[in-house]
Amino acid sequence: MSKKVCVVGSGIIGLGSALRFLRSGHRVTMVSSPSHFMPTSPVSAAFWFPYACSLSLEQEIALAEPTYLFLKECMQSSDTGISLRKGRAYFDETVELAETTTPWWAKLDTNFRHLASTEIPSVLGEDQTVGPIVGGWSFEVPVIQIPTFLTWLQREVVALGGEVKEHRVTSFNEIDDSYDWIVNCTGGWATHLTSDPVLVGFQGTVIELPGEPLGETLLFLEKGKSSNLPTYIVPQGSRTILGGTLKPVTQLGEAWQTGSDGAKQQWVGTDEDVLGIIERCQIVSGKPIPLAPGSSWKSKAGLRPVRSHSPPRIEMDSNSQRMIVHNYGHGGSGVTFFWGSAQAAYDLAQPC
């Protein structure tokens, strides 16, 4: 029987959840308040790659594999902003050996192989900022032009009868009793609505460089766990995303950009973040990054909804009288996990 569902949050996790419930014939209203709680999803570099997540192998596969298959299915429509890209990941000596062995997703048609030592640019090993590099992977994964994909998902939601409303939810109790299920997709802001001692949040910064993409290949350097300096160059349809940073949320306040009316608009990286990203991307790619003064590049920052040493929270709320399914806390892998998470949230709601 068709149920009434209220999805709180309209980032990638909220949109995926809304679409999943709608596809099974339920009635969905999606509410969000981007002016109070800036969504992280539009800032994402948005390549499919399980990263910085505390999941068991089984959990990771359960979330990432359905998303991979869904993204490949979406690629059949030309307006989703998704394409397959060849990619390379490099590992420095601080990455644990176990993490450099063949990943489970090599069995998907990702053209996975380990890089030969001759394929690793020697310059990476000579610089103290990045390296020395001890190994690497070559692969092919979906890369998503995220503004295009979010718009496409929202169109799908509306086309299936989903309602989209702008509203700040201050408590689940204020949500009308006529809703059978509430799906909480509030990302890094979830603690405004539910208690979660392990939700911390880390700022991530990217630089968006419009125009012809820089090169063909996605490059990713997961610089050791303690240095907080993942580096990536992600060529997309009509832009390149350069990243990144991983900073504890206490440093976020400094990063607002203010509009002409004085209103806060978008988080941006600090000058130090931006210069660091450019420097590291130049080393990783071995090429100068053309960020001319006055050119139309911009920096953006977002809040990775990290749950310290814990997996995303995808569970029924046992403390509430209402049927609340939580679906948040996807850290640095929300785009990689969103469809598997939507399926998991849907499965949890079913028996109720």
Ligand X SMILES: Cc1cc2nc3c(=O)[nH]c(=O)nc-3n(C[C@H](O)[C@H](O)[C@H](O)COP(=O)(O)OP(=O)(O)OC[C@H]3O[C@@H](n4cnc5c(N)ncnc54)[C@H](O)[C@@H]3O)c2cc1C
Residues at the site binding ligand X, with contacts judged by CB under 6 A:
8-14, 31-34, 37, 39-41, 43-47, 168-169, 185-189, 192-193, 204, 206, 243-244, 302, 304-305, 328, 330-336
With H, G, I as helix, E, B as strand and everything else as coil, classify residue 135.
Answer: strand
- Residue 2 or 228: which CB sits closer to ligand X? 228
Q: What CA–CA distance (Å, rounded) separates 104 from 109?
A: 11
Rounded alpha-carbon distances, angstroms, from residue 200 to 68, 254, 312, 328, 329: 27, 18, 12, 12, 9
- Residue 26 or 85: which CB sits closer to ligand X? 85
In angstroms, what is the minimal distance from the CB of 117 to ligand X?
27
Rounded alpha-carbon distances, angstroms, from residue 345 to 169, 183, 187, 316, 322: 20, 8, 14, 8, 15
In angstroms, what is the minimal distance from the CB of 336 to ligand X?
4
In angstroms, what is the minimal distance from the CB of 98 to ligand X?
21
Of residues 76, 77, 75, 52, the one with CA closest to residue 64: 52
In angstroms, what is the minimal distance from the CB of 323 to ligand X?
18
Residues 326-347, buried b or exposed e (16+ Cβ, 10 A)? bbbbbbbbbbbbbbbbbbbbbe
In angstroms, what is the minimal distance from the CB of 211 to ligand X?
20
- Residue 12 or 130: which CB sits closer to ligand X? 12
In angstroms, what is the minimal distance from the CB of 126 to ligand X?
27
Q: What CA–CA distance (Å, rounded) separates 148 from 320?
A: 36
> Residue 230 corresponds to which tokens in the numbers above?
């993942």
In angstroms, what is the minimal distance from the CB of 43 to ligand X?
5
Kindly give, in sequence order, each residue whose CB lies less than 8 Å from that of residue 19, ignoring residues fewer than 6 positions away: 153, 156, 157, 160, 162, 342
What is the tally of helices (H) and strands (E) in the chain?
7, 17
In angstroms, what is the minimal distance from the CB of 195 to ligand X?
14
- Residue 122 or 265: which CB sits closer to ligand X? 265
- Residue 135 or 305: which CB sits closer to ligand X? 305
Enclosing H/E stretch for 32:
strand 27-32
- Residue 130 or 218: which CB sits closer to ligand X? 218
Q: Is 79 exposed, middle or buried (0-12, 13-18, 19+ CB in 10 A)?
A: exposed
Residues paired with residue 6 on neighbouring β-strands, in sequence order: 29, 182
Asked if residues 173 and 214 have their Cβ atoms less than 8 Å apart, the reply is: no
In angstroms, what is the minimal distance from the CB of 118 to ligand X?
28
- Residue 6 or 349: which CB sits closer to ligand X? 6
- Residue 253 or 293: which CB sits closer to ligand X? 253
- Residue 122 or 257: which CB sits closer to ligand X? 257
Q: What CA–CA distance (Å, rounded) separates 326 from 117?
A: 44
Instruction: Using the structure block, give the residue that is written with the tokens 């990144």.
Output: 244
